[in-house]
Amino acid sequence: MRFLPAGDLAVSVELGEEISVEVNTRVRALEFLIRQKGLTGVLEMVPTFRSLLVYYDPRAVGYEAVCEAIAELAPQASTAVLPPARAVELPCCYDTELGLDLEAAAKRLDLPVDELVRLHSGAEYLVYFIGFTPGLPYMTGMPERILLPRLETPRTKVPAQSVGIGGIQCCIYSVDSPGGYWILGKTPLRLYDPEAPDPILLRPGDRVSFRPIDRAEYDRVAAQVEARTYTPVIA
Amino acid sequence: MTVRILDAGPLTTVQDLGRTGHLRYGIPPSGPVDRESFLLANRLVGNDDTAAGLECTYMGPRFQADRGCAIAVTGAAAPVTVNGEPAPRWTTIVLRAGDQVRVGAPRVGVLSYIAFAGGLDAPVVLGSRSTYLRGRLGGLEGRALRQGDVLNVLEGPLPAVRSLATPPPVGGEQETIVRVVLGPQADRFTDEGIRTFLGSAYEMTQQSDRMGARLRGPRITHTRGHDIVSDGIALGSIQVPGDGQPIVLLVDRQSTGGYTKVATVCSFDIGRIGQVKPGRSLRFRAVTVDEAHRLLRESDASLDGIATEEIA
């Protein structure tokens, strides 16, 4: 474990070097423990792949003291302390109009489009953390057979709610933004909805699966989302 | 009472001290870039520090109050007029119903702050009235003000008229010095890179905004690549992508990112960065975490100790 100062208001706590479920689970468990114990002076935290950024108030606690308190909790940070993960089912329309790269990705992988869809929607994805833009999940869980390097030329604008893959990661864009993932489809659900009482759909630690839907169902669900009558399937 | 916006200026937003606790969902704190000027504006009209006011970039707005009220304008050296007559900055200004106020383009500095006695009303979203422009969240419909907008002001007692004995020299230094704590990834830069970073002047560019200040200057060289496993980005994190040019991340920053971060600007110097005009430059000076905390206490104390004198 390493403590790296991030200015006068934050410290980055690194729990490992690599991207792995094991390291990320400890990061999320450490965040959970710190919140549960209500460590003095801790204001907020940002879990990522292998580190936890802890914002603290130096008027309430010193750097050494906050690091020591975190170090004391770290040995207990494991799956055992985390509450059960939520399972979130996202409907996803894999068609060539919304899945901007669906055919190109299938061709590159030397797979029929249907098989690529079957493999992608048959897997379960772990949300390591939310970041970059509001509500955007960093997820892994991709079947080996559909691993692809990211696009050589990133798009300058990917529509929000597009579902993409690249490297070992699966991504869902939460707002219109530039992006380098291969876009396989689109979910009618909003990952970020600034007008909703709770604007963010996914949480760190969620287990996400995709349910393939056709365009007619996509349009139907999108209309319900717009009318705020749709309830996502979360178990 | 209400305030009608006759002219919004290029980028005027509603801000309070910002929202806490939502970075783990990718939602930044927002709030004023120059926190010190913002707090002083609130204090000059007798508001709590948490009251919402306006942040204006470059040119301020022109507005009209429908009832008598008190305001204060702080920050950049922007000319203020009431019904065309010059009015003082860093001072409580008492308005009568129908008075028209204009905050012009600053000679020095970038950001002006306008506080209204009682504080601006706007829906509280995730615990704050601050506007987060990229996320279309908070403030007035998540956007910058436009001509014709009407802002509600919360009821508050009319404060005594106060003035600052010695206003801070916002944006007025020949060359701004900004204190930083090295790291979290200083070890990913060459010794030469760190020397360059701490020994050179960096120029503010036009591409800077509330998300980040993009600077231009001598290249800061990496040891082995500029990408890291994405991690959290703190207030003031200085990212250095492959081109070796530093970007200081501010109040509307992305919560996480995958570029190496050479250092982090101390919280008490964030406002100074926001007040540097494009084309002007700044220098970084390294301090330890302990020194940073001592300087923070001094900065708090000096802010609390800034004498306001009743003039009226």
Sign of the Cα pseudo-torsion (B223, B228, B231, B234, in order): positive
Q: Is residue B309 part of a domain?
A: no
Give the integer Cα–Cα distance in Å for B289 and B301.
Answer: 18
Query: B164, B186, B220: which is the final residue of a domain?
Result: B164
Please report the pLDDT score of residue A41 as a whole number. 97
B82 token code pair? 């009431």
Burial class (CB within 10 angstroms; exposed 0-12, middle 13-18, buried 19+) of A122 = exposed
Which residues in chain A have Cβ-Cβ distances shorter than 8 Å to B184? 4-6, 12
Which residues in chain A have Cβ-Cβ distances shorter than 8 Å to B295? 8
Best of A8, A49, A63 to substitute, by most chain B Cβ atoms within 10 angstroms, is: A8
* Nearest alpha carbon to residue A2 among A19, A17, A14, A16: A14
Sign of the Cα pseudo-torsion (A19, A24, B257, A209, in order): positive
Cβ within 8 Å, pair A7-B267: yes
CA distance A153 to chain B (A): 17
pTM: 0.95
Please indicate, yes or no, whether residues B9 and B156 belong to a single structural domain of this protein. yes
Please indicate, yes or no, whether residues B198 and B160 belong to a single structural domain of this protein. no
Query: B140, B164, B188: which is the final residue of a domain?
Result: B164
CB-defined contacts A:B, below 8 A:
146
pLDDT digits (tens, 9 = 90+) for B73-104: 999 999 999 999 999 999 999 999 999 999 99
Give the integer Cα–Cα distance in Å for A164 and A161.
Answer: 9
Cβ within 8 Å, pair A194-B125: yes
What's the whole-number mean pLDDT along residues A155-163?
94
Please indicate, yes or no, whether residues B159 and B11 belong to a single structural domain of this protein. yes
B168 token code pair? 């801070």
Question: Which of A8, A14, A192 is closest, CB to CB, to B267?
Answer: A8
Please report the pLDDT score of residue A154 as a whole number. 84
Query: A18, A45, A79: which is the final residue of a domain?
Result: A79
Please indicate, yes or no, whether residues B296 and B150 belong to a single structural domain of this protein. no
Query: A38, A62, A79: which is the final residue of a domain?
Result: A79
Could you tell me the residue range of the domain that residue A66 belongs to? 2-79
pLDDT at B308 over 80: no
Please indicate, yes or no, whether residues B197 and B155 belong to a single structural domain of this protein. no
Question: Which of A14, A46, A175 is closest, CB to CB, to B255?
Answer: A46
Please indicate, yes or no, whether residues A20 and A117 belong to a single structural domain of this protein. no
Please indicate, yes or no, whether residues A67 and A148 belong to a single structural domain of this protein. no
Please indicate, yes or no, whether residues B156 and B182 belong to a single structural domain of this protein. no
Q: How many domains does chain B divide into? A: 2
- Over pLDDT 70: what percentage of chain A? 100
Q: How confident is the model at residue B225 (pLDDT cuts 50, 70, 90)?
A: confident
Please indicate, yes or no, whether residues B102 and B82 belong to a single structural domain of this protein. yes
pLDDT at A153 over 90: no
- Over pLDDT 70: what percentage of chain B? 99
What's the whole-number mean pLDDT along residues B16-41?
97
Please indicate, yes or no, whether residues A132 and A229 belong to a single structural domain of this protein. yes
Please indicate, yes or no, whether residues B148 and B209 belong to a single structural domain of this protein. no
CATH number for the domain that contains residue B199: 2.40.100.10
pLDDT digits (tens, 9 = 90+) for B156-182: 888 899 998 888 888 877 789 999 999
Please indicate, yes or no, whether residues B204 and B130 belong to a single structural domain of this protein. no
CATH number for the domain that contains residue A54: 3.30.1360.40
CB-facing half-sphere around the CA of A225: CA atoms within 13 A: 20
DSSP structure string for B87-151: E-SSB-EEE-TT-EEEE---SS-SEEEEEETT-EE---BTTB---BTTTTBSTBTTB---TT-EE
From residue A218, how far is each of A116, A187, A223, A234, B301 by CA, in Å? Answer: 19, 8, 9, 18, 58
Cβ within 8 Å, pair B229-A130: no
CA distance B297 to chain A (A): 8
Please report the pLDDT score of residue B307 as a whole number. 66
Q: How confident is the model at residue B227 (pLDDT cuts 50, 70, 90)?
A: confident
pLDDT digits (tens, 9 = 90+) for B266-277: 999 999 999 999
> Which has the higher per-residue pLDDT, A231 or A153?
A231
Please indicate, yes or no, whether residues A57 and A95 belong to a single structural domain of this protein. no
Please report the pLDDT score of residue B167 as a whole number. 86
- Over pLDDT 90: what percentage of chain A? 94
Q: How many domains does chain A divide into? A: 2
Please report the pLDDT score of residue B84 as a whole number. 97
Looking at every residue in chain B, the average pLDDT score rounds to 95
Question: Which of A9, A47, A175 is closest, CB to CB, to B24?
Answer: A47
Cβ within 8 Å, pair B23-A52: no
In degrees, rounded to 5, the angle at the alpha carbon of residue B38 between the alpha carbons of residues B37 and B44 is 85
Please indicate, yes or no, whether residues A101 and A169 belong to a single structural domain of this protein. yes
Cβ within 8 Å, pair B180-A17: no
Q: Is residue B310 part of a domain?
A: no
Query: A79, A110, A145: which is the final residue of a domain?
Result: A79
Burial letters for B246-256: b for 16+ Cβ neighbours within 10 Å, e otherwise? bbbbbbbbbbb
Please report the pLDDT score of residue A160 as a whole number. 96
By CA distance, what is B142's nearest residue in A?
A194
Please indicate, yes or no, whether residues A206 and A228 belong to a single structural domain of this protein. yes
Please indicate, yes or no, whether residues A219 and A129 belong to a single structural domain of this protein. yes
φ, ψ of residue A199 to 5 degrees: the values are -70, -10
- The CB-based long-range contact list for B195-198 (8 Å cut-off, 24+ gap) reads B196/B220, B196/B221, B197/B246, B197/B262, B197/B263, B197/B284, B198/B284, B198/B285, B198/B286
Which residues in chain A have Cβ-Cβ distances shorter than 8 Å to B290? 63
Please report the pLDDT score of residue A208 as a whole number. 98
Which residues in chain A have Cβ-Cβ distances shorter than 8 Å to B297? 59
Please indicate, yes or no, whether residues A6 and A60 belong to a single structural domain of this protein. yes
What's the whole-number mean pLDDT along residues B137-145?
97
Which residues in chain A have Cβ-Cβ distances shorter than 8 Å to B293? 8, 58, 62-63
From residue A176, how far is each of A133, A165, A179, B165, B276 by CA, in Å? Answer: 10, 16, 9, 48, 30
pLDDT at A216 over 60: yes
Which residues in chain B have Cβ-Cβ distances shorter than 8 Å to A6? 181, 183-184, 232, 234, 237, 261, 264
Q: Is residue B46 part of a domain?
A: yes
Give the integer Cα–Cα distance in Å for A190 and A212.
Answer: 17
Could you tell me the residue range of the domain that residue B139 belongs to? 2-164
Cβ within 8 Å, pair A6-B232: yes
What's the whole-number mean pLDDT along residues A195-201?
93
Max CA separation in chain B (angstroms) = 63
Which residues in chain A have Cβ-Cβ distances shorter than 8 Å to B232? 6, 10, 12, 46, 48, 51-53, 131
Please indicate, yes or no, whether residues A45 and A91 belong to a single structural domain of this protein. no
Please report the pLDDT score of residue B256 as a whole number. 95
Cβ within 8 Å, pair A6-B289: no
What's the whole-number mean pLDDT along residues B57-71?
96
Cβ within 8 Å, pair B27-A138: no
Please report the pLDDT score of residue B156 as a whole number. 84
Query: B164, B198, B224: which is the final residue of a domain?
Result: B164
pLDDT at B312 over 80: no
Please report the pLDDT score of residue B48 as a whole number. 95
* Nearest alpha carbon to residue A44 among B171, B26, B10: B26
pLDDT digits (tens, 9 = 90+) for B271-304: 999 999 999 999 999 999 999 999 999 999 988 8
Looking at every residue in chain A, the average pLDDT score rounds to 96
Please indicate, yes or no, whether residues B210 and B151 belong to a single structural domain of this protein. no
CATH number for the domain that contains residue A200: 2.40.100.10
Q: Is the ipTM of this complex over 0.90?
A: yes
